[in-house]
Amino acid sequence: MKRLLISPLLCLAAFAAEPLPEFQGSFEKLDPALDALLDANSKIEVLASGFNWSEGPVWKDGKILFSDVPENTVFGWKEGDTAATVSLKPSGSLSGGGQGSNGLAKDAAGNLILCQHGERRIARLEKDGSFTSLADTFEGKRFNSPNDLVIDAKGAVFFTDPPYGLKKGTAPDAPYHGVYRLGSDGKLSLIIEDIQWPNGIALNPDQSVLYVAVSDKEDPRVMAYDLQADGKVKNGRVLFAAKTLKSPERKGGCDGMKVDTQGNIWTTGPGGVLILNKDGKHLGTILTGQATANCAWGGDDLSTLYITADMFLLRVQTKVKGL
């Protein structure tokens, strides 16, 4: 398959006062269909750097918010800022002894919803700065460490629960790494329990398909499930297998993902952000040179892709709009 590499890059602002570390990024075109999604003159912009492990971005109130998981902090960046600033600390471990927030989302009312590793729960940030726990146990067993989430049009929260954020030496309560659905009525259900290391999660435009990124080091992949009216899933299948992409030069695995209005899937994977069509065909990659955690749509028209890649916050202008 023909591969076209172009290497645009623009550095903007750092989180820390030190000079920006060297960043090398490029675009890899694998299919002509990529031209409708990314302009050949697009740039990978470095907005901020110096983070421990950046994750879980969400566009909210005119800025991008994102987690630094080990630092137990949510940072924010908006156009015109010279640095990312602390928006919330602690973000996921209220005692300060555990990991912070990971995936972030906002509900229909604009509230920030967090996957809190340290507290092992899904929580809502209230206007007074307090947290309300939305879910922390299932059938009497505590969650491992909720990792990523997506909220559907009816307010149901779908989230993954691998054990990445558990304190060292802590034994999981449940014998599985679950994928859960928290309905707007508060009913919690376990919808997937037969995969290890579920991570990123997303819905297709008409919300008939649920996607789950699997961070299994031996078999990184994106799964697709048909979503039923009652919130259950069926017909689980591998949409994209990423193992053949792994190499010393292409760091990372299948982690966070988002979907555009055309149904294309922008999922982190070996090398950066993989761009797949709805059938799982790999159209191209935003190569970051970093282990890349997650991405989110932002900007006034949701056509800008913000990317959390290890110590960096990046931005790429696209030709499509995100959900």
Tens of pLDDT, residues 51-106: 999 999 999 999 999 999 999 999 999 999 989 999 999 999 998 888 999 999 99
Q: What integer is the mean pLDDT of 179-191?
A: 97
Q: What SS3 class is residue 315?
A: strand
pLDDT of 149-165, one tens digit each? Answer: 999 999 999 999 999 99
Give the model's pLDDT for residue 317.
97
User: What was the pLDDT predicted at 11?
Assistant: 38
* pLDDT reading at 2 higher than 80: no
Q: Helix or strand or coil: residue 5? A: strand
Q: What is the pLDDT of residue 8?
A: 35
pLDDT at 6 over 50: no
| One-letter identity of residue 96 | G
Residue 119 has pLDDT above 70, yes or no: yes
Q: Which two tokens stand for residue 88?
A: 């919330």
Confidence of residue 21 (pLDDT cuts 50, 70, 90): low
Q: Is 303 helix (H, G, I), strand (E, B) or coil?
A: coil
The pair of three-digit structure tokens given for residue 68, joined into one six-digit string: 């630094």
Which pLDDT score is estimated for 15?
A: 45
Pairing relation of β-strands 178-182 and 188-192?
antiparallel
The per-residue pLDDT for 16 is 44
Judge whether 234 and 194 are in contact, CB under 8 Å. Answer: no
- Half-sphere exposure for 270 (CA within 13 Å, toward CB): 18
Give 288-312 pLDDT, tens digit per residue.
999 999 999 999 999 999 999 999 9
Cβ-Cβ contacts under 8 Å for 28 (sequence gap 6 or more): 3, 4, 5, 271, 284, 285, 286, 287
pLDDT value, residue 215:
97
Q: Which amino acid is at 160?
A: T
Q: For tokens 């307010």, what's the residue?
A: 155
Q: What is the CA radius of gyration of the chain?
A: 18
Mean pLDDT, the chain, integer: 93
Q: Are 304 and 297 in contact (CB under 8 A)?
A: yes
Q: Cis omega (within 30 of 0) on the bond before 198?
A: no
Alpha carbon distances (Å) from 201 to 132, 151, 247, 275: 22, 10, 24, 15
Burial class (CB in 10 A: 0-12, 13-18, 19+), 224: buried
Structure tokens at 307: 């990317």
Q: What is the mean pLDDT of residues 194-218?
A: 97
| Residue 23 binned pLDDT confidence (cut-offs 50, 70, 90) | confident
For the chain, give the percent of residues with pLDDT over 90: 89
Give the residue ranges of DSSP H helices in 23-164.
none
CATH architecture of 4-317: 6 Propeller (2.120)
What does the pLDDT read at residue 84? 97
Q: Which two tokens stand for residue 193?
A: 């329990």
Residue 46 scores a pLDDT above 80:
yes
For the ranges 7-16, 22-31, 186-195, the lowest mean pLDDT is seen at: 7-16
Q: How confident is the model at residue 40 (pLDDT cuts 50, 70, 90)?
A: confident
